[in-house]
């Protein structure tokens, strides 16, 4: 009888020790998984409409690390024929990851603002008296969009990212420009202020109802 009690006690002790070791091992794995999560990312994006810009992202400790606010910024210049365009692009919103590692496939919802300063050179302007002449004009135009994107991001310290999507917004067809021009009348030179309607200049990715988005990015995750 004593032998049975001793064997039972020994078996219970060994099983309890094994269970404690397994539980400790699982806790260690869980802690290691959380410690390997890289919550902050800083990098560069190239594509449309970013052209070339900066990007940052922070993974929040909510919904099992699936929610990640982001902010993108870029500034660049385009020179279509007889036109100069200074562009600033801002995109901010939230990435929602499928897994709980802050990497892999994700969907993105955000707001975009494309601010443009457009300078037209050598365009025909007409004043209120019907006088015409060649002059120059500039206009500041803001385009706001609601952005829907899908992407994938690598799970590494040096990360790579690929995104495609569409920004829904109102794109103007024509621009009402005002500027100054010179003209001659009866042998006398005059300077006057006039106006002109011009088509919205061609900018890569911008259509009639929104902006096509596609970019590639890389950077560092911490």
Q: Give the span between the Cα atoms of 75 and 114, in whole angstroms.
A: 10
What pTM, to 2 d.p., does this model score? 0.75
Mean pLDDT of the chain: 83
Q: Examine the domain organization and report whether 158 and 175 are in the same domain.
A: yes
Q: Is the same domain home to 31 and 42? A: no
Q: Are residues 197 and 95 in the same domain?
A: yes
Output Rg (C-alpha) for the chain, integer angstroms: 30
Which of 84-93, 116-125, 210-219 has the lowest average pLDDT? 116-125
Residues 20 and 49 reside in one and the same domain: no
Other CB atoms within 10 A of residue 101 CB: 17
Measured CA to CA, the distance from residue 193 to residue 171 in angstroms comes to 27
Percent of the chain whose pLDDT exceeds 90: 43
- Can you give the pLDDT at residue 34? 52
Residue (of 145, 38, 34, 166) closest to 92 by Cα position: 145
Residues 9 and 43 in one domain: no
Same domain, 120 and 29: no
The reported pLDDT for the residue numbered 3 is 39
Q: What is the pLDDT of residues 34-49, one digit of tens each?
A: 557 889 999 999 999 8
Run of H or E residues at 34: helix 2-35
Report pLDDT digits (tens) over 63-86.
999 999 999 999 988 877 777 888
* 132-153/210-221 β-pairing: unpaired
| Confidence at 175, pLDDT banded by 50, 70, 90 | confident
Residues 113 and 195 in one domain: yes
CB 70 within 8 A of CB 95: yes
Alpha carbon 178 to its chain centroid, in Å, reads 33
Contact criterion met (CB below 8 Å) for 119 and 182: no
Q: Do residues 151 and 193 share a domain?
A: yes
Whether residue 15 is found in the same domain as residue 45: no
pLDDT over 80 (residue 105): yes
Within 10 A of 139 (CB to CB), how many other CB atoms are there? 16
* Shared domain check, 151 and 46: yes
Residue 154: name the closest of 104, 220, 216 by CA.
104
Given this model, what pLDDT does residue 206 score? 85
Same domain assignment for residues 29 and 64: no
What is the rounded average pLDDT of the residues 106-126?
90
CB proximity list for 158: less than 8 A, separation 6 or greater: 218, 219, 220, 221
HSE of 118, CA atoms in CB hemisphere, 13 A: 25
Domain count, the chain: 2
Say whether both 28 and 63 belong to one domain: no
Rounded Cα gap, residues 221 and 165, in angstroms: 23
The reported pLDDT for the residue numbered 193 is 87
User: Residue 24: which domain range?
Assistant: 1-36
Q: Kindly state the average pLDDT of the residues 187-210.
A: 83
Whether residue 149 contacts residue 163, with contact meaning beta carbons closer than 8 Å, is answered with yes
CATH of the domain at 173: 2.40.160
Angstrom distance (rounded) from CA 138 to CA 142: 14
Whether the pLDDT of residue 129 is over 60: the answer is yes
């Amino acid at each position: 009888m004593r032998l049975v009690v001793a064997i039972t006690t020994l078996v219970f002790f060994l099983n309890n020790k094994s269970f404690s070791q397994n539980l400790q091992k699982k806790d260690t794995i869980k802690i290691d998984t959380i410690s390997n999560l890289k919550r902050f990312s800083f990098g560069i994006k190239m594509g449309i409409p970013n052209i070339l810009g900066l990007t940052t992202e922070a993974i929040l400790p909510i919904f099992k690390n699936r929610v990640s606010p982001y902010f993108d910024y870029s500034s660049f210049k385009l020179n279509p024929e007889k036109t100069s365009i200074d562009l600033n692009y801002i995109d901010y919103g939230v990435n929602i990851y499928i897994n709980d590692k802050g990497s892999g496939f994700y969907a993105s919802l955000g707001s975009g603002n494309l601010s443009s300063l457009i300078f037209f050179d050598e365009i025909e302007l007409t004043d209120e008296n019907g006088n015409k002449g060649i002059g120059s004009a500039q206009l500041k135009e803001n385009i706001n969009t609601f952005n829907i994107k899908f992407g994938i991001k690598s799970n590494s310290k040096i990360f790579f990212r690929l995104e495609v999507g569409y920004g829904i917004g109102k794109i103007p067809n024509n621009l009402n420009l005002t500027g100054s021009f010179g003209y001659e009348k009866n042998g006398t030179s005059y300077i006057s202020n006039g106006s002109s309607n011009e088509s919205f200049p061609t900018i890569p990715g911008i259509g009639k109802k929104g902006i096509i988005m596609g970019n590639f990015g890389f950077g560092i995750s911490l």
